[in-house]
Chains A and B, each alone.
Chain A
Amino acid sequence: MVQYKETHLDASFAALSDPTRRGILERLGRADASITELAGRFQMTLTGMKKHIGVLEQTGLVTTEKTGRVRTCKLGPRRLEEEVAWIESYRQLWHARFDELDKIVDELKGRERFDERTKRK
């Protein structure tokens, strides 16, 4: 039985800051793979690969299952794709709002400067 830790997107992003780990996810997106296969694919030691998988597993992005002597890795249950897409669309909404807000802020700044100048006269 695989244990899923409580995870946050922050942890996912930290986990994904590494190009190898992103590569592993892309690879697992196509098919499940054993740690040995992944180590071979990414030309690293078993220990190195285990470490990467450990990080991904902690965030819930990847789960592993041991059958006999082989540990198989697969994409985790988290709906990362959905969450990332939603956050990105939400970011775009705020980004668009803030662009408009910039214009208003500039206008108010201009007005303030004008008021100061006229006050001084």
Chain B
Amino acid sequence: MNERRGSEKTPVNYATTVKRKSERELVITRTFNAPARIVFEAWTKPELIKRWWTPKSFGISFISCEADARTGGTYRFVFSHPDFEQPMAFFGKYIEVTPHSRIVWTNEESADGALTTVTFEENGGKTLLVLHELYPAKQALDDAIASGSPNAAPEQFELLDEILATLVS
């Protein structure tokens, strides 16, 4: 991988990993090729959040995006999706916002909503982002998993191999 060094212009695709860390926790990680202050900015300004939170390939788009990213502030994201007649609203409160290093918020659209913590760790001009979701109970995460898997793949082991390649390395 050393040959990549020095060729700053080659875009590096960093892997996104998702792990069920325990019965109640999910952890997502990703590295960004930018200092923490920049990544943090993109997570806290609504006009920027709006541009990346609803990827086109997922068919969701923002109807409105309000985020007062300060400790004690609130947020409210409203999305539309062609499969749903009604818009979907996601909302909660920022429990902690520490510039460039940590954001903690609640997900209050359902009683089973997780507490989300995002940390930004800068190292050598790059930022490791760790998103941690803590669900109120094992059942809450199990239910999220059970409800959100419309097409459980028949080729489970191929999929497993792919995931193993990203997780166990």
A residues within 8 Å of B by Cβ? 6, 8-10, 13-14, 16-17, 22, 25-26, 79-91, 93-106, 108-109, 112
B41 lies within 8 A of A8 (CB): no
For the complex, give the distance between the alpha carbons of A102 and B38 in Å. 11
Segment from B52-60, B82-90, B92-100, B105-113 that makes contact with A: B52-60
- Cβ-Cβ contact count across A and B, 8 Å cutoff: 122
Tell me which of A8, A10, A85 has the highest count of chain B C-beta atoms within 10 A of its own C-beta: A85
B2 within 8 A of A: no
B33 close to A82 (CB less than 8 A): no
Cβ of B1 < 8 Å from any Cβ of A? no
Which among B16, B42, B58, B156 is the interface contact of A104 at CB below 8 angstroms?
B42
The reply to whether A82 and B157 form a contact with Cβ atoms under 8 Å apart is no
Given A81-B152, A104-B42, check contact A87 B34 (CB 8 Å): no
User: Chain A contact residues: over half helix, strand or loop, or mixed?
Assistant: helix
Interface residues of B (CB under 8 A from A): 11, 14, 16-23, 26, 28, 30, 32-34, 38-39, 41-42, 48, 51-53, 55, 57-58, 131, 144-146, 148-149, 151-153, 156-157, 159-164, 167-168
* Assembly CA distance A84 to B164 (angstroms): 10
Question: B39, A97: Cβ atoms under 8 Å?
Answer: no
Residues of B within 8 A of A6 (CB): 23
- Name the distance in Å between A80's Cβ and chain B's nearest Cβ: 7
B22:A8 contact, CB within 8 angstroms: yes
Name the distance in Å between B119's Cβ and chain A's nearest Cβ.
Answer: 15
Q: Does A108 lie within 8 Å of B38, measured CB to CB?
A: yes
